[in-house]
Structure 1
Amino acid sequence: MTRHRQRSAIILAAGYARRMRRFKPVLTLGGRTMLERVVSLYRRVDVTDIRVVTGFRPETIRSALDALPVAVVHNPSHDEGMFSSVQAGIDSLPSDVSSFFVHPADIPLVRPHTLTVLMDAFDRRPSPVAYPVFGDRRGHPPLIDGAMKDTILSHGGDGGLSALLRRFDAAALDVQVADEGVLLDADTPEDFRRLETRQATCGRLTEDECRMLMEKVCRLPAPLIRHCQRVADVAAALARAVNDSGGTLDVCLVQSAARVHDVARGEKNHAAAGARLLNEMGFPAMAALVATHMQIDLTENSSLDEAQIVHLADKLVAGATVVSLKRRFDAKIEKYGHDPAVAVKILQRRRAALSIQNKVEQMSGRTVGQLLTTAGLTHGRQP
C-alpha cells in the first residue's frame, strides 16, 4: 500500500445551502456535479478511502454518487452545523489512518497537483495539520494528522474545526500553491458563476496564479519575474495584432505561458524543466509553449502559432527592456561568439526569430516595432 493510499478524504455534503438556494453538491459544473468533481479529485491522487458525509437530502447524495467507490456516512445531527459533520466523518475513519483531508463539497476546483504537493510536504515534515496557501490565505482542504482524531472528536464545537486547528498554528505546515481554487467555494449564486468562469479556463494558470507560482512557490528573483512579465506583455500584443488580421491565436494561453516561461531558470535545460513542472501541474498546453521558448524547430511553411509568438517575444526582451532582434542577437554574438558551437546555436535562434517576425509582419501589415509602439511597448523602453 502506498503512502497516499493510507490517507482518507472526508467530503462534507450535509448542509442546507440556504444562501445558494439550490442544493450545492449536485449542481453541475462543466458537465459534472460538484460532488463528483471532488470525489474524482481524490481518486486521481490515489486516495482511495473516500467518505462522503450526508445530512440534508441524503438520498439525493446517494443517487448522485451512483456507483462511485466511496463510503457514505450519514450525520443525523447535521442541523447542529458543519462541525458535527466533520466529527461524523472522522468517527468513521479506520483506527490506523495516517492522515486525512476534510473537503467541503462546494470547493470543487482544487487541482490534483495541489493535493500531491500538500501530501509530499506533509511526508517530509509531519505536522498536526498542513494547509494549502494561496498568497497569504490558507485554503481548503487541510490535511490533518491521524493522531488528531481524538482531539477533534472530543472538541465541543465552539468555533468549528478552524478554531480548533488554530490551537496548533505553531506546528502547522503552510504549503504555498499556485492554485486559487483552494479559496473558491460556492456559497452564493455569484460564487457559482465565478466557478463556472474559472472552470471554462482551467487549461491555464490565471495571472494571479502565474504570479504566485513565480513569487511564492518557486521564489524567483524580482528581475527574472519582471523579465517574464515583459515577455508576456510583448507576446500578448503580438498575438492580438495577429488576431486583428484574421489569426486565431489563444491570447490568454500565450500570455500565461510567457508569464512563466523562465519558471525553472535556475535548472539545467530550464525550458524542458519548466515544461515538466507545468505538465505535472496539469497544464500541457502551457508546457508545450514553455518547452520551445529557447529553441524552436520550424518547417519552411509552418503556420504561425502560439509557441512561435512566445519564442519571438522572449527574443525581443533583454532583461526587462524591449529590444530589436538585431540588438539582442548582436549582443549575444559579441558575448559568446568566440565559441564556435555556441555561435552556431545563436545564429540558428536568430534565423528562427527572424522567420517568425517576418510572419507576424506579413500578416499584420506592420513592423514588429510599429506593433509594439502602438501597444506602448516601444523598443528600448523600460517597464
Structure 2
Amino acid sequence: MKKTVGSIIVAAGLSSRLKDFKPLMKIGSSTIIESTINNFKLLGVDEIVVVTGYRENVLKNSISCENIRFVHNSNYEITHMFDSICLGLKEIRNKVDLIFITPADSPFVQQFTLKRMMDRMKNSNYEIIQPSYEGKCGHPLLISSEYVNTILKHDGTNGLQGVITYKSDSYLNMSFVDPGIVMDADKKPDYQALLKYNEIKGCPSVEMCEKMLNHFQATDLVKSHSHKVMEVALSINEKLEKRGLILDKDAIVAASMLHDIAKGNPHHGEVGANWLMEMGFEIISNIVREHMELKELSPVIREKEVVYLADKLVMENKICSIEERFLLKEELFKSNEIITKVVEKRKHQAMLLYDIIFGTG
C-alpha cells in the first residue's frame, strides 16, 4: 500500500536574531517560505501544514501556493518551536503516514535527500530519520505517524532532540552530500550564504564533486579515470576557446568528474544522471546521461560533446587514441552483431567529433 506523506513547515517565530521577518525575505524571485513549500510540492507530498505565529495574516496573504493548511500558534511570543511542531502534528497526524518537519528557512534540501529518507523509512522500522551533512545534523526530520504520540507526550526539554535521545533505538541519522540540510537564515550572514548558494547550486564545485564521489563509494580507478577525463576535457575546451567558442567550463569540469559516479550499476549513465537530477544538477545530469552515447550528433560543439569525446580519449587513467579505446570491445563483442553496432556507433560519433575539433580523423 502506498504511504501518504505530509510536511509541517514552522513559521511562527519572531525572527529576532535576523532583525527581519525571514519567511518573507527573497531568494531569487520567491520568498524563503515559498521556496521551502515548493520544494515539498515538487516531492509530491499529500499534505502541507504551515504553522504561523508572528505576522500571521501577512504571511498567509503572501503565500501564493495552493492547497496549504494553516495552523496558528497564538502563544508564539512565549512558546518554542517544539510547541509549534506539536500544533502541526495534531493537525496532520490522522491524514498521512509519514511527516516531514522543517523550519520555514530550509529551502534548498535536495529532492535526492528527501526521497532517500522516505524510501528508507518505508522499508525499515525506523520511526524518526534525520539527515546530516559533514557530520552536522539538520532538516528536515522525517517521522512516522505512529511516532506522533511519543512526541506529543514529551515535555519539550531540548525540543525534538530530547525525543530523539529518549527513543534512540527508533532513530536513524542519514548522511548526504547536501549543504541545504544545514543551511538557514537565522542571522544575516546565514541569509547571505543562502543567496550565494542559490546562485551556484546548479553546478557542484570540484570539492563538492570529490565529496560526491566518496559518498557514492567510487573506486580509486573510477576517480583517477574521471580526473584524467577532466584534464582532457579542459584541454579540448581550451582549444575551442582559442577559436572563440566559449562553453561552460565549470559544467565541463563537474560532468567530467561525475560521469561515472554510478559506475558498477546497470545502465550507470542513466542511474548517475537520475541521481544528479534529483540533487539539483540538471545541466550536469543532461551531460552525464549522454556520456556513453550521444542521442544525436550535432556539428555544433557543446559541453556534452566535449565530455563525450574526452571520455573516449581516456582508457582507465591514461590518454589513448579512439582506436585504442574501442579495440578491446570490438574484439570482445565481434560475434554479437547487436552490440557490435552499438560499439561502432559510439566509435563513429567520437571520430566525427575529433575531426570537427582537431581537423583529423
TM range (shorter): 0.7 to 0.9
CA distance in 2, matches of 1:74, 1:234: 58
**Structure 2 gap segments, 5+ residues each:** none
* Matched residue, 1:320: 317
* Matched residue, 2:140: 141
* Matched residue, 1:304: 301
* Matched residue, 1:108: 107
* Matched residue, 2:327: 333
CA distance in 2, matches of 1:72, 1:221: 48
Kindly provide the amino acid, as one letter, of the partner of residue 46 in structure 1: G
- Deviation of 1:213 after TM superposition, in Å, equals 3.6
| CA distance 1:15–1:257, change in 2 (3 Å) | same
CA distance in 1, matches of 2:92, 2:332: 66
| CA distance 1:128–1:272, change in 2 (3 Å) | closer
- Deviation of 1:278 after TM superposition, in Å, equals 3.5
* Matched residue, 1:46: 44
1:78 is paired with a residue of what secondary structure? coil
- Deviation of 1:345 after TM superposition, in Å, equals 5.6
CA distance in 2, matches of 1:297, 1:8: 38
How many residue pairs end up in the alignment? Answer: 356
Q: Given that residues 289 and 306 in structure 1 are in contact (C-alpha distance below 8 angstroms), is that contact kept between their aligned partners in structure 2?
A: yes
- Deviation of 1:96 after TM superposition, in Å, equals 5.9
Q: Given that residues 135 and 212 in structure 1 are in contact (C-alpha distance below 8 angstroms), is that contact kept between their aligned partners in structure 2?
A: no
| CA distance 1:334–1:143, change in 2 (3 Å) | closer
TM-score scaled to structure 1, two decimals? Answer: 0.82
1:107 is paired with a residue of what secondary structure? coil
What does the per-residue CA deviation read over 1:239-296, in whole Å, with 9 as the maximum and x for residues that have no partner?
Answer: 3553354223111222222222112322333323333443455544323211222223
Structure 1 window deviating more from structure 2 (281-290 vs 144-153): it is 281-290
Q: Given that residues 312 and 325 in structure 2 are in contact (C-alpha distance below 8 angstroms), is that contact kept between their aligned partners in structure 1?
A: no
| CA distance 1:233–1:75, change in 2 (3 Å) | farther
* Matched residue, 2:90: 91
CA distance in 1, matches of 2:128, 2:61: 33
| CA distance 1:197–1:267, change in 2 (3 Å) | same
TM-score scaled to structure 2, two decimals? Answer: 0.86
- Deviation of 1:44 after TM superposition, in Å, equals 2.0
| CA distance 1:261–1:142, change in 2 (3 Å) | same
Report % sequence identity.
27
* Matched residue, 1:59: 57
Alignment of 1:224-303 (within 5 A): 224-243=222-241, 245-296=243-294, 299=297, 302-303=299-300
| CA distance 1:207–1:157, change in 2 (3 Å) | farther
| CA distance 1:137–1:225, change in 2 (3 Å) | farther
- Deviation of 1:320 after TM superposition, in Å, equals 2.8
Kindly provide the amino acid, as one letter, of the partner of residue 304 in structure 1: I
| CA distance 1:191–1:232, change in 2 (3 Å) | farther
What does the per-residue CA deviation read over 1:126-172, in whole Å, with 9 as the maximum and x for residues that have no partner?
Answer: 31211223343332101012222232223222222223313333432
Structure 1 window deviating more from structure 2 (310-319 vs 344-353): it is 344-353
CA distance in 2, matches of 1:236, 1:330: 21
Structure 1 window deviating more from structure 2 (334-343 vs 248-257): it is 334-343
Kindly provide the amino acid, as one letter, of the partner of residue 256 in structure 1: A
**Structure 1 gap segments, 5+ residues each:** 368-383
* Matched residue, 1:132: 131
What does the per-residue CA deviation read over 1:57-88, in whole Å, with 9 as the maximum and x for residues that have no partner?
Answer: 11221112246321111112323332222222
| CA distance 1:334–1:160, change in 2 (3 Å) | closer
CA distance in 1, matches of 2:247, 2:12: 44
* Matched residue, 2:10: 12
- Deviation of 1:304 after TM superposition, in Å, equals 1.3
| CA distance 1:136–1:335, change in 2 (3 Å) | same
Q: Given that residues 250 and 306 in structure 1 are in contact (C-alpha distance below 8 angstroms), is that contact kept between their aligned partners in structure 2?
A: yes
* Matched residue, 2:181: 182
Kindly provide the amino acid, as one letter, of the partner of residue 105 in structure 1: A
Q: Given that residues 255 and 284 in structure 2 are in contact (C-alpha distance below 8 angstroms), is that contact kept between their aligned partners in structure 1?
A: yes
- Deviation of 1:343 after TM superposition, in Å, equals 6.7
Kindly provide the amino acid, as one letter, of the partner of residue 143 in structure 2: I
Structure 1 window deviating more from structure 2 (188-197 vs 266-275): it is 266-275
* Matched residue, 1:69: 67
2:13 is paired with a residue of what secondary structure? coil
Kindly provide the amino acid, as one letter, of the partner of residue 187 in structure 1: D
